[in-house]
Amino acid sequence: MEQHIIYLDNNATTPMHEDVIEAVHEAHILYGNASSMHGLGRASAQAIEQSRQAIASLIDCSAKEVVFTSGASEANNTVFSIIREQIDLGSKRNRIITTTIEHPSIIETVKYLKSRGYKIDECPVDSTGRVDLATFKRLLGEDVALVSVMTGNNEIGTIQPIEEITELSHAVGALVHTDATQAIGKIEVSMRKMGVDYLSLSGHKFYGPKGIGVLAVKTKAPFTPLVHGGHQEGGRRAGTYNTASIVGIGVAAKLAKADLQAEHDRLWSLREMLRKGIEERIPNVVVNGNQQHCLPGTLDVSFPHAEGESILLYLDMEGIMVSTGSACASGSLEPSYVLLASGVDIELAHGSIRFSFGRYNTADDVAYVLEKLPPIIKRLREMSTR
Ligand code: PMP
């Protein structure tokens, strides 16, 4: 009998929606280079512009502010490279502020830039992973070029007060970037309301294709391309258009917008069902992250005296796919840097599991996890020497 798969790793990536698969498949007839002036080229360009409109409508910005990239990692790297250029050109604003719990595509960029002598402050977060605005205010100053804070965290789901952060940052003249990759399709993401200058997102986190993303850039914000070459994207990102994936992310954006409120409520109720069920059935558990400001589908739980990786593997044997920490950081047995930065005890950080819900999960999935998880934790705790 084929094993039933319960996929609870939607923050790592989502499957493509069937409408996206169909649209991507059909878009392969659009093989003309979108930069070509003939009919086939124009057909591709038109499909790309429709997708650009759909993205702009989803994140509440103007279509000309949308730059297609290969994903959120590239979008994030582009922002830091723009600011690096500004600093290299002698701007008196030569400091960047970010946080300790950003995605590795920012954490590693920060490490690299620091090693090259750039001044970067990583604002600490509170025990729930939220930026403390009083601490943040103390870090701000007239020398700050960029503030980069993610909208919602991929591991613990904590949502940051981006509007307040933008207001404070703009008051001292700093530009603001938010990595909204995990928030898209789960909570309202409005570039206009948040007031940010740059925003990153990625197709594969909201049922679109992998390898396609967006950097949205306010018209007046500085820009230097990361990828130099042809004149695509108004000279902001070179390279022949990935037409099929761009069509796919556009369809995903339309679906995300249409279903936003319903998906938000459904994901939150599944997440709460699992949280309550775990708390009722398993003693001594700690729920990580901010319970008030939290992405609806994310539940991160620590199980003291049980190793995260062991829990993951036992769940995997039951067909339940989860994650410890972020997928990008796993592959090592290091505890989650996000939890450590939130002041979580190292042992608790080692025993954490992230359940992340998506469009295709149901209450039956929660019931199945609640049947399989308690005996696994019990067994692992019995095996533990502590
Ligand atoms: N930022 C966040 C918050 C993410 O969760 C991810 C994906 N794990 C990325 C950036 C990177 O996105 P991509 O895979 O499109 O490069």
CATH at residue 353? 3.90.1150.10
In this structure, of 37-46, 88-97, 284-293, 321-330, the range with the lowest mean pLDDT score is: 321-330
State which of 162, 200, 205, 215 you would mutate to test the pocket of ligand 1, scoring each by most atoms of that ligand within 8 A of its C-beta.
Answer: 205
pLDDT (tens digit per residue) in 174-204:
999 999 999 999 999 999 999 999 999 999 9
Classify residue 174 by its DSSP letter. -
The answer as to whether 37 is a domain residue is yes
Q: Tell whether 86 is covered by a domain.
A: yes
Whether 197 and 230 share a structural domain: yes
Q: Residue 370's pLDDT is what? A: 98
Q: Are residues 96 and 121 in the same domain?
A: yes
pLDDT at 37 over 60: yes
User: What average pLDDT is seen over the chain?
Assistant: 95
Could you give the CA distance from residue 318 to residue 12 in angstroms, rounded to a whole number? 19
pLDDT(386) > 90? no
Residue 123 to residues 126, 140, 257, 328, Cα–Cα distance (Å): 10, 10, 32, 22
Asked whether residue 5 carries a pLDDT value surpassing 50, the answer given is yes
Pocket around ligand 1 at a 6 A CB cut-off: 71-73, 103, 105, 150, 154, 179, 181-182, 202, 213, 328
Q: Clarify whether 61 is annotated catalytic.
A: no
Task: Say what angle helices 243-281 and 39-59 make with each other, to 10 degrees.
Answer: 30
Q: Which residues contact 257 (CB under 8 A, 6 or more apart)?
A: 54, 57, 58
How close are the terminal C-alpha atoms of the chain, in Å? 39
State residue 170 phi and psi, 5-degree precision.
-65, -30
Last-in-domain residue among 222, 238, 255? 255
In percent, how much of the chain has pLDDT > 70?
96
Q: For 241-280, what is each residue's pLDDT tens digit?
A: 999 999 999 999 999 999 999 999 999 999 999 999 999 9
Confidence class of residue 351 from pLDDT cuts 50, 70 and 90? confident
* Rounded CA separation 110/43 (Å): 40
Asked if residue 177 is part of any domain, the answer here is yes
Q: What is the pLDDT of residue 326?
A: 45
Going from the C-alpha of 285 to that of each of 68, 272, 282, the distances in angstroms are: 42, 15, 7
Total domains in the chain come to 2
What is the helix, strand, coil percentage profile of the chain, to 5? 45, 15, 40
Averaged pLDDT, 67-94: 98
Looking at the fold, whether 191 and 303 belong to one and the same domain comes out as no
Same domain, 23 and 140: yes
- CATH at 156: 3.40.640.10
* pLDDT score, position 101: 97
User: Which residue, by CA, sits nearest to atom 9 of ligand 1?
Assistant: 72
Query: Is the distance from CB of 237 to CB of 70 less than 8 angstroms?
Result: no
Domain of residue 286, residue span: 6-15+260-385
For a pocket test of ligand 1, which of 106, 202, 354 has the largest count of ligand atoms closer than 8 A to its C-beta? 202
Q: Which of 322, 287, 334, 325 is nearest to 127 (CA)?
A: 287
Average the pLDDT over 222-227 and give the result.
97
Distance 160 CA to ligand 1 centre (A): 17
- Both 243 and 337 in one domain: the answer is no
pTM of the entire predicted model: 0.96
Note the pLDDT tens digit of each residue in 113-128.
Answer: 999 999 999 999 999 9
Asked whether residue 211 falls in the same domain as residue 294, the answer is: no
Among the three residues 213, 239, 255, which one is the final residue of a domain in this structure? Answer: 255
Look at residues 186, 295, 170, 255 and name the one whose alpha carbon lies nearest to residue 221.
Answer: 170
CA of 103 to the centre of ligand 1 (A): 7
pLDDT surpasses 50 at 327: no
Residue 134 included in any domain:
yes
Q: Does residue 1 belong to any structural domain of this protein? A: no
The predicted model gives 26-42 an average pLDDT of: 96
Closest to 129 (Cα-Cα) out of 355, 271, 377, 325: 325
Name residue, tokens 């994140």: 59
Last residue of a domain, one of 255, 277, 292: 255
Return the closest-CA partner of residue 309 out of 298, 322, 328. Answer: 322
Q: Name which of 316, 320, 319, 325 is nearest 298 in CA terms.
A: 325
Identify the band that residue 308 occupies on the pLDDT scale cut at 50, 70 and 90. very high
Mean pLDDT of 142-169: 98
- Residue 47 is assigned to a structural domain of this protein: yes
Q: How close is the Cα of 205 to the center of ligand 1, in Å?
A: 8
Indicate if 61 and 128 belong to the same structural domain: yes
pLDDT, tens only, 284-300 = 999 999 999 999 999 99
- Whether 288 and 371 map to the same domain: the answer is yes
| C-alpha distances out from residue 147 to 81, 170, 209, 322, 380, Å | 14, 9, 29, 32, 43
Query: Are 74 and 142 within one domain?
Result: yes
For residue 331, is pLDDT > 80?
no
Same domain, 91 and 237: yes
Whether 244 and 318 share a structural domain? no
How many whole angstroms from 249 Cα to the centroid of ligand 1?
15
Same domain, 111 and 34: yes
Contact in structure between 251 and 23 (CB atoms under 8 Å): yes
- Read off the tokens for 359: 């469009």
Q: Does residue 150 form part of some domain? A: yes
54, 258 contact by CB (below 8 A): no
Residue 329 has pLDDT above 80, yes or no: no
Q: Is residue 94 part of a domain?
A: yes
Q: By the 8 A CB rule, do 38 and 44 touch?
A: no
Answer yes or no: are the C-beta atoms of 104 and 326 closer than 8 Å. yes
